[in-house]
């Protein structure tokens, strides 16, 4: 299962259109999506249904959804090679998600660290049930396409395990239906941390000014944020997993994710340098990554109708596969087919 007519294993991934995309999204996800697109049959979606697990402003959600799709392309995903689509444009996602929700043990859902973290940040009364059921929707995204591989940051590994467990449960109860997906974590830069709090993952929905570099940040501003990144009171520039040294480690990780060099090479390069030198080097490499990306982004946002046509085609390609899988799952579960 999984392979289609072109016989390549299938890849599926998505990012929520909540907030602006950051260099964490680029280095931890998009960059890898671009790199694998010729080796696999890739489906990349903008997961707007996931975004509404916390309240979104309608105007902003619509705008961010378009911007995210445009950013996928600007980052280098070729719509002629990969399928780019919006999750809510393919209703099969919501439909299968409900079926999976009914099969998902409450205990599994309550054990998810992302749920625990996100719900801890909100008043009990205001937590939507969608936050709990988030992993069932993610499982639907993946299983509808018989995805073999799912490139995600390692914070999503638990959701992938959940997806496999749920698929197995379905297959066991109703017969072989879903492909069990494997996780694909990026080598370096799986986890870019906040510049102000380097012990927490860089988030696109964090308010503080120096937390994240956004992909659309003015280049001078991006540079300034990196120059202000939290470091420590040591002097040596080295990769480290000590919490105390998380800031320097994060800067090195960003540098590495862009340069693609090994730890030792990078440490040798910065031997004897100060934190100012490190920050300047990181800022230079970030800025030279952002510059061409922004240029492509504004170019294609100005091309009337282009993005819409990409999303229309993506929706058609995605829906054809998703609907067939949904139909099979409905049949297996015992739904009466409409005549």
Which tokens go with 147? Answer: 């995805």
Catalytic site residue 327? no
Strand intervals (E) in 166-321: 182-184
Range in contact with ligand TRP (rule: CB under 6 A) among 148-156, 217-225, 296-304, 305-313: 148-156
Supply the minimum distance, in Å, between the C-beta of residue 237 and ligand TRP: 30
Cα–Cα distances (Å) from 119 to 54, 55, 157, 158, 208, in that order, read 10, 13, 19, 17, 20
CA dihedral sign of residues 74, 77, 79, 80 = positive
Residue count of the chain:
339
What distance in Å separates the CA atoms of residue 244 and residue 231, rounded to the nearest whole number? 9
Distance from the first to the final alpha carbon of the chain: 28
Q: Which is nearer to ligand TRP, 12 or 215 (CB)?
A: 12
The residue whose two tokens read 């801890």 is 120
Does 247 interact with ligand TRP (rule: CB under 6 A)?
no
Instruction: Please identify which residue in 11, 21, 142, 195 interacts with ligand TRP, judged by CB under 6 A.
Output: 142
Catalytic site residue 118? yes
Does 150 interact with ligand TRP (rule: CB under 6 A)?
yes
List 31, 204, 225, 279, catalytic entry: 204
Does 180 interact with ligand TRP (rule: CB under 6 A)?
no
3-state secondary structure of 150: strand
Range in contact with ligand TRP (rule: CB under 6 A) among 10-18, 194-202, 204-212, 255-263: 10-18
Per-residue contact string for residues 36-55; x = within reach of ligand TRP by CB under 6 A: -----------x--x-----
Catalytic site residue 225? no
Q: Which residues contact 291 (CB under 8 A, 6 or more apart)?
A: 219
Range in contact with ligand TRP (rule: CB under 6 A) among 123-131, 136-144, 218-226, 288-296: 136-144
Supply the minimum distance, in Å, between the C-beta of residue 104 and ligand TRP: 15
- What is the DSSP track for 166-187? HHHHHHHHH-S--PPPEEE--S
Q: Alpha helices of 127-245 — where are they, by DSSP H?
A: 129-143, 157-174, 219-227
**Could you give the residue numbers annotated as active site?**
118, 201, 204
Residues that bind ligand TRP (CB under 6 A): 12-14, 16, 47, 50, 138, 141-142, 150, 152, 156, 159
């Amino acid at each position: 299962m999984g392979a289609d007519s072109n016989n390549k294993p299938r890849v599926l991934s998505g990012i929520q259109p909540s907030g602006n995309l950051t260099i964490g999204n680029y280095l931890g996800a998009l960059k890898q999506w671009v790199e694998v697109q010729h080796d696999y049959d890739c489906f990349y979606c903008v997961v707007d249904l996931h975004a509404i697990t916390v309240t979104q402003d309608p105007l902003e959600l619509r705008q961010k959804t378009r911007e995210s799709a445009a950013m996928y392309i600007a980052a280098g995903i070729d719509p002629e090679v990969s399928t780019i689509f919006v999750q809510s444009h393919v209703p099969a996602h919501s439909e299968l998600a409900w079926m999976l929700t009914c099969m998902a043990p409450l205990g599994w859902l309550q054990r998810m660290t992302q749920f625990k973290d996100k719900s801890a940040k909100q008043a009990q009364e205001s937590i939507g049930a969608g936050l709990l059921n988030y992993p069932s929707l993610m499982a639907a995204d993946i299983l509808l396409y018989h995805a073999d591989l799912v490139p995600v940051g390692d914070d999503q590994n638990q959701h992938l395990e959940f997806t496999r467990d749920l698929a197995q449960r379905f297959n066991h109860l109703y017969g072989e239906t879903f492909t069990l997906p494997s996780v694909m974590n990026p080598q370096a830069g799986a986890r870019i941390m906040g510049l102000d709090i380097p012990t927490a993952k860089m988030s696109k929905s964090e308010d503080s000014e120096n937390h994240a570099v956004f992909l659309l940040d003015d280049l001078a501003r991006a540079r300034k944020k990196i120059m202000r990144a939290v470091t420590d009171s040591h002097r040596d520039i080295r990769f480290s997993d000590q919490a105390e040294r998380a800031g320097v480690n994060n800067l090195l990780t960003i540098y590495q994710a862009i340069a693609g060099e090994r730890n030792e090479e990078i440490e040798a390069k910065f031997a004897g340098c100060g934190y100012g030198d490190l920050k300047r080097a990181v800022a230079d490499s970030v800025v030279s990554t952002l510059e061409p990306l922004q240029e492509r982004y504004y170019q294609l946002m100005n091309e009337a109708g282009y993005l819409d046509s990409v999303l229309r085609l993506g929706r058609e390609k995605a829906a054809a596969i998703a609907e067939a899988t949904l139909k099979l799952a409905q049949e297996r579960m015992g739904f009466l087919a409409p005549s």
